[in-house]
Chain A
Amino acid sequence: MKHVINYKVPDGKLLRLLIDRDGDVIRDIRITGDFFVHPETGIQEIETLMKGKAVDDACEAVEKLLDEGKIRVIGFRAQDVRTALGAYIV
């Protein structure tokens, strides 16, 4: 992983993203932090979905996935991941 991005979600938890990017494309990402995901394995689903996509497409895909309601995240929203990633300029 090339970079660590720390982002405190307002009224939420601390997102600590480990990310490897190629320009705008996410090569690899690990979403870590003190949040909750139910079921916990949902985090791998989110990470897998983001890999190989441009940041905007990746975040949109995560938003859609979370809207389905099968994975419940407490402590951040899909748009917080977008904000965190946007705050880091290559």
Chain B
Amino acid sequence: MSEWSVIRVEERCAAVNMSLDEAMLQARADNLIPNTLRLFTWKPAAVSIGYFQSLDLEVDREALKESGCDIVRRYTGGGAVFHDEELTYSVVLSEKDVSSDIVKSYEEICKGVITALRLLGLKAEFKPINDILVGGKKVSGNAQTRKHGVVLQHGTILLGVDVKKMFRLLKVPDEKIRDKLIASVEERVSSVNKELGRVVSVAEMQDALIKGFEESFSKKFVHRSFLDIELTLAKKLFEEKYSSMEWTNAR
């Protein structure tokens, strides 16, 4: 399948978002879909934690419950992310279409995001292992997994950022230095809106991302909707995995 596809932005809850990503990975592995870029947002706002993270070490369950935010464990490694004012992408590609070197492949896929940011007027750079910086500050974090010859990479593009809000939901290794930690994260993290000095809508960011991926992979991304098979797979993953306490509390 030489044509690549894009599924335009949809707003979903955390467990559905992660179910759809894994469903796409499975569908791509079975060659039912072409390489696909998907764009999405999170409602309600949510914390996602990496595959290898301990929920209890990273997240304040009480604060989370009070906030009404969702929690989900990702299929991918990496750190805890607070998904609020952002646009998230996920992409499933045949492993043949990217470098076998994992960090290199992060860079190849992140080039789509970097190009998108350039189209918006920002000079962005890839920072190994899996970050994208503007003006030396992180505006995008990315994570990938590989299964059955397919790469799934997803990442967040911060449109706005509220570090204090995020830290109300996260635990810190040492409570005594919580304020210091927040201050240091505020220094290291920024957002597209902040760097551009204007508000970028989800729609504008989406258009830039589609163009950015098209340019960096030299492919046309044709719009499509989810296939029934993807939705069926996602429903099963939602019920059996991502909405289950067993998966969420796995580590």
Which A residues lie at the B interface, using CB under 8 A?
4, 6, 13-14, 16, 18, 30-40, 43, 72, 74-75
User: CB distance B51 to A40 under 8 Å?
Assistant: yes
- Chain A residue with minimal CB distance to B79? A34
User: CB distance B102 to A72 under 8 Å?
Assistant: yes
Label chain B's interface by main secondary structure: loop
Chain B: number of interface residues, binned into ranges:
20 to 34
Label chain A's interface by main secondary structure: strand
- How distant is the Cα of A6 from the Cα of B177 in the complex, in angstroms? 15
Q: Indicate whether A35 sits within 8 Å of B52 (C-beta atoms), given known contacts A16-B57, A40-B77, A40-B145.
A: yes
- How distant is the Cα of A31 from the Cα of B51 in the complex, in angstroms? 11
- How distant is the Cα of A37 from the Cα of B54 in the complex, in angstroms? 15
Instruction: Report the minimal beta-carbon distance from A82 to chain B, rounded to whole angstroms.
Output: 18
Instruction: Report the minimal beta-carbon distance from A72 to chain B, rounded to whole angstroms.
Output: 7
User: CB distance A36 to B78 under 8 Å?
Assistant: yes
- How distant is the Cα of A32 from the Cα of B143 in the complex, in angstroms? 16
**Interface check B178, CB cutoff 8 A:** no
- How distant is the Cα of A78 from the Cα of B78 in the complex, in angstroms? 18
- How distant is the Cα of A32 from the Cα of B77 in the complex, in angstroms? 10
Instruction: Report the minimal beta-carbon distance from B109 to chain A, rounded to whole angstroms.
Output: 14
**Segment 102-157 of B: residues with Cβ below 8 Å from A:** 102-103, 129-130, 143-147
User: CB distance B80 to A4 under 8 Å?
Assistant: no
**Which of chain B's residues have a CB closer than 8 A to the CB of A39?**
146-147
User: CB distance B57 to A74 under 8 Å?
Assistant: no
- Chain B residue with minimal CB distance to A43? B52
User: CB distance A16 to B54 under 8 Å?
Assistant: yes
**Segment 35-94 of B: residues with Cβ below 8 Å from A:** 50-54, 57, 75-80
Instruction: Report the minimal beta-carbon distance from A35 to chain B, rounded to whole angstroms.
Output: 6
Q: Indicate whether A36 sits within 8 Å of B147 (C-beta atoms), given known contacts A16-B57, A30-B54, A43-B52.
A: no
- How distant is the Cα of A37 from the Cα of B80 in the complex, in angstroms? 16
**Interface check B251, CB cutoff 8 A:** yes
Q: Which of B57, B77, B173, B251 makes the CB contact (< 8 A) with A36?
A: B77
User: CB distance A36 to B54 under 8 Å?
Assistant: no
- How distant is the Cα of A33 from the Cα of B51 in the complex, in angstroms? 9
User: CB distance B78 to A34 under 8 Å?
Assistant: yes
Instruction: Report the minimal beta-carbon distance from A6 to chain B, rounded to whole angstroms.
Output: 5
User: CB distance B57 to A37 under 8 Å?
Assistant: no
Q: Which of A4, A18, A30, A35 makes the CB contact (< 8 A) with B77?
A: A35
Instruction: Report the minimal beta-carbon distance from A68 to chain B, rounded to whole angstroms.
Output: 17
Closest 7 pairs between A and B when the two form their complex, measured CB to CB: A34-B79, A36-B77, A32-B54, A6-B173, A40-B51, A34-B50, A34-B78
- Chain B residue with minimal CB distance to A15? B52
What mask results when residues 209 to 226 of chain B are scored 1 for a CB within 8 Å of chain A, else 0?
Answer: 000000000000000000
**Which of chain B's residues have a CB closer than 8 A to the CB of A32?**
52-54, 57, 251
Q: Which of A13, A18, A30, A38 makes the CB contact (< 8 A) with B146?
A: A38
Which residue, A14, A16, A34, A43, has most C-beta atoms of chain B within 10 A?
A: A34
- How distant is the Cα of A30 from the Cα of B56 in the complex, in angstroms? 13
- How distant is the Cα of A85 from the Cα of B164 in the complex, in angstroms? 32
Q: Indicate whether A37 sits within 8 Å of B77 (C-beta atoms), given known contacts A31-B52, A74-B103.
A: yes
